[in-house]
Amino acid sequence: MSPNGNVVSVRSNDQQVDLLASSNLSKVATINTDQAKCICATQLYVFVGSWSGKLSIYDVQRDFKLIKYLK
C-alpha cells in the first residue's frame, strides 16, 4: 500500500530496508535488497545503492515494486 505523503527509510539489516510513513512512523513496506549501503526516498521512487555497486529503483506508487536496477 502506498503511503500518503513522504517516506522515511530505515535499514533493518543487509537484506532489508523498512519504509516508514513520515507522518506517524508506521511501517508501510519492506524492500528486500542486496547489502544496502545508501537509501534515498522521494515521493515517487526509492533508490537503494548496494556495496556491490548496484542501484535499485523502486516505484512508490506501485507498492514499492522494483522497476529497474543499474550496475
Q: Above 90 in pLDDT, residue 58?
A: yes
pLDDT score recorded for residue 2: 46
Q: Quick: pLDDT tens for 25-47.
A: 888 889 988 888 888 888 899 99
Place of cell 547489502: 35
Strand partners, 18: 10, 30
Q: Which residue has the higher pLDDT, 31 or 5?
A: 31
Please give the mean pLDDT across all residues of the chain. 85
Other CB atoms within a 10 A radius of the CB of residue 67 amount to 11
Residue 2 to residues 13, 31, 61, Cα–Cα distance (Å) = 22, 13, 6
* φ, ψ for residue 62, nearest 5 deg: -110, 45
